[in-house]
Structure 1
Amino acid sequence: MKYTTLPNTDIKVSKICLGTMTFGQQNSESEAHSQLDFAIERGINFIDTAEMYSTPARAETYGVSEEIIGNWFLKTRKREEVVLATKIGGPNRGLEYMRDDLQFNSKTLALSVEKSLKRLKTDYIDLYQLHWPERKSNMFGQRGFKIQHDEWEDNFQKVLEDLHDLIQQGKIKNIGVSNETPWGLMRFLEEGRKHDLPKVATIQNPYSLLNRTFEVGLSEVCHRENVGLLAYSPMAFGVLSGKFLTGESHPNARINLFPQFSRYNSPNAREASKKYSEIAKKFGLTLTELSLAFIEHQSFVSSTIIGATNLKQLEENINTIEITMTEEVLHEIENIQNLIPNPAP
């Protein structure tokens, strides 16, 4: 395994992070615990979850992924071996069952942290993330900002103050954002700088061969402001595994079980995947190896969040950390990106 230090912290994390959104819906608790055991054995020390997980979000499975991780901590006593990240969900996603007030304020942040700590069976969270903006922005399946009416009022400073209070209490250690825009990330950074408040360490956004929109704006912010990307959906819901290029139906694949994630299943996404698969074969790689190694190669990526539904997938994903991208491979990837740019927003 390879490791790095999360920006603006003293936390050493594995360059591959275990994502847990399948825990409790596609994976049983015993299967999830087997994944956690295997990941730790292979050197992964970074686990990401969220209060809303598993996904797709349902009232029946709200918080279950955190509970499964907490039970694993209780069973194995390995909490101190893990860098633990979780997230608070906000408005704009129709998750009213989580709490009465979905805005980010002192009451809701404190409440959500307490609930997560209880489910995770821990006293602290290493990285606490705002799962998406309160304002209507950066919706899934959308490449650029579209003006929409909302009643959001500027509260970046206040949110940072509330998070600072939680840090002072020892309940969270560091902060991050997720599904954020360049403007939103810069506002958090500027308000933190201006008022001597906590600095955002990471941003967790989608990034894959089929969605490189992060490179437009956000990659420069991360480079110049020392913020690390936690890249999620690097396999584009399994489309970049290559299994959909075989002609088989794969009825239990996430993209078929949950058709609401159709952004990864467009004709352009399938065509781009086919072309990337041809590059992989040319250089003696699988499409999975090409896809994850490309993400791991990027200097602005602190850790790549991988998810799997079985140990075979997990092993293949972890093994990609040893692959080196050559300039020739990267050049051919750029040719496809120029031909079919960002087909899965």
Structure 2
Amino acid sequence: MKKLQIGNTDLHVAPINLGGNVFGWTLDEKESFKILDAFVERGYNFLDTADMYSYWVKNDEGGQSETIIGKWMKERGNRENIVLATKVGGETGIHPVDTSKKHILKSVDKSLERLKTDYIDLYYTHFDDEETPVVDTLEAYDELVKAGKVRYIAASNLSPQRLEESLKSSEEHELPRYQALQPHYNLLERENYETKYAPLAEKYGLSVFPYWSLASGFLTGKYRSEKDLGKSVRGESVRKYLNPKGFKTLRALDEVSQKHNTSQATVSLAWLLAQPNLGAPVASATKKSHLETLFAASDIQLTNEDLQLLNDASTY
């Protein structure tokens, strides 16, 4: 399997990034281990989590997902084979969004303890408080890199302005530089990324790992009407896609997936993989069959005709 290089780093990952938001939420420890085992058994190595996952279960600090992944890595003895990404700064039930130096330096030690490791491969600014000077945030990361606790840094939910300011400040002050970007991007959520962030990814050579790659499950095709919303705990989150654009996109996915004898979810991920600067889309799985759907995305080659059909259906 061809591995992808993350930005200007020595990190190389397989083309699917397994999302850990379901660990400790819709999956307990035992079921999470099964998914993680099946993922790495197929040669995939990129795990994504955050210190805030899954705070909403108990409305607390979070850390449930990190704890499960940490216990799994320790029991399997496979830390050196994993490219591990986690995040800092997000709001939880007991603290607000915070990208201050104090918060980052305190939070990283908690994450490392839960993950049962002494280093994080890719550490994301999850959300931005938009008050802390970007240099202060980068100086915190500089301390962590020099201490060996973090190898590289990345950005998720920063405004385009703060993202570019951070990238410029890294150069000006010789501080660690964001190597990757994790935006909200999928077939139905294109405009914000493509008009505001894609140019920055191209300009600064950022690897892009989009989250909500399947639009909370809508792009799997299982939600076709309001009565389908009860099919999962995330059903209500796709209500907003039950509109003409959403249905048109599903019809295009139906056509392309039938042509390639595959699923709508696989085609949705393959479409992402065909976009410029895209690395490994972030997608979660609660069943082994879901993983097979993810794995298939890197195996199919969408034609220009396929891509045009999907682009036209989801245009903005």
TM-score above 0.5: yes
Question: Residues of 1 paired with 2:204 and 2:282: CA distance?
Answer: 22
One-letter amino acid of the counterpart of residue 24, structure 2: G
Instruction: Could you tell me which runs of 5 or more consecutive residues in structure 1 were left unpaired when the two chains were aligned.
Output: 136-151
Matched, 1:16 2:16: yes
SS of match in other structure, 2:199: helix
Of 176, 199, 210, the match for 1:220: 199
Name which of 232, 237, 248 aligns with 1:272: 248
The alpha carbon displacement at 1:241 in A equals 0.6
* Structure 1 residue matching 2:99: 3-state secondary structure: coil
After TM superposition, give the deviation of residue 180 of structure 1 in Å: 2.1
* 1:238/1:254 contact within 8 Å kept: no
Structure-2 residue corresponding to 1:337: 314
* Native 8 Å contact 1:230 1:304 kept in 2: yes
Superposed CA deviations along residues 161-205 of structure 1, whole A, max 9, x for unmatched, are 111011100011100111223212111110001111111001111
Q: 1:231 aligns with which of 198, 207, 210?
A: 210
**1:298: which partner in 2?**
275
The answer as to whether partners of 1:177 and 1:202 remain within 8 angstroms in 2 is yes
> Aligned to 2:298, what secondary structure does the other structure show?
helix
Conserved? CA contact 2:60–2:93, under 8 Å:
no
- Give the match's secondary structure for 1:303: coil
Aligned partner of 1:159 in structure 2 is: 137
Counterpart of 1:275 in structure 2: which amino acid?
A: R
Aligned to 2:31: 31
Q: Please state how far the C-alpha of 1:70 moved relative to its aligned partner.
A: 0.7
Query: Matched residues in 2 for 1:209 and 1:21: separation?
Result: 21
Total equivalences in the alignment: 314
Code of the aligned partner of 2:82: V
Structure 1 length-normalised TM: 0.85
Contact in 2 for aligned 1:89/1:130 (Cα 8 Å): yes
2:116 is the counterpart of 1:171: no
Q: Is the Cα contact below 8 Å between 1:54 and 1:64 reproduced in 2?
A: yes
Q: Which residue of 2 aligns with 1:120?
A: 115
Structure 2 unaligned blocks of 5 or more: none
Output aligned runs, 1:1-345, within 5 Å.
1-54=1-54, 56=56, 58-60=58-60, 62-90=62-90, 93=91, 95-98=92-95, 102-135=97-130, 152=131, 155-212=133-190, 213-245=192-224, 249=228, 251-256=230-235, 259=236, 261-262=237-238, 264-268=240-244, 270-281=246-257, 283-284=259-260, 285-338=262-315, 341=316
Q: Deviations over 1:22-51 (max 9, x none)?
A: 001100111111111111011111100001
- TM-score, with normalisation over the residues of structure 2? 0.93
Identical-pair percentage: 31
Query: Given that residues 181 and 207 in structure 2 are in contact (C-alpha distance below 8 angstroms), is that contact kept between their aligned partners in structure 1?
Result: yes
CA contact (8 A) 1:102 1:108 kept: no
**Structure whose residues are more often helix by fraction:** 2
Offset at 1:336?
A: 1.0
Contact map agreement 2:5 2:11 (CA 8 A) in 1: yes
Query: Cα RMSD (Å) of the superposition?
Result: 2.1
CA drift of 1:298 comes to 1.5
Instruction: State the Cα distance separating 1:306 from its structure 2 match.
Output: 1.4
CA displacement, residues 136-183 of structure 1 (integer Å, 9 cap, x when unaligned): xxxxxxxxxxxxxxxx25x01111111101110001110011122321
Please report how far the alpha carbon of residue 96 of structure 1 lies from its aligned counterpart in structure 2 after TM superposition.
4.8
Deviation of 1:225 after TM superposition, in Å, equals 0.7
The secondary structure found in structure 1 opposite 2:198 is: helix
Per-residue CA deviations over 1:89-132 (Å, capped at 9, x if unaligned) read 34xx4x2514xx75222221111000000000000000110111
Q: Please state how far the C-alpha of 1:262 moved relative to its aligned partner.
A: 4.7
Counterpart amino acid of residue 106 in structure 2: L
- CA deviations 1:243-274 (Å, max 9, x no partner) are 12388636342432xx3x35654424532343
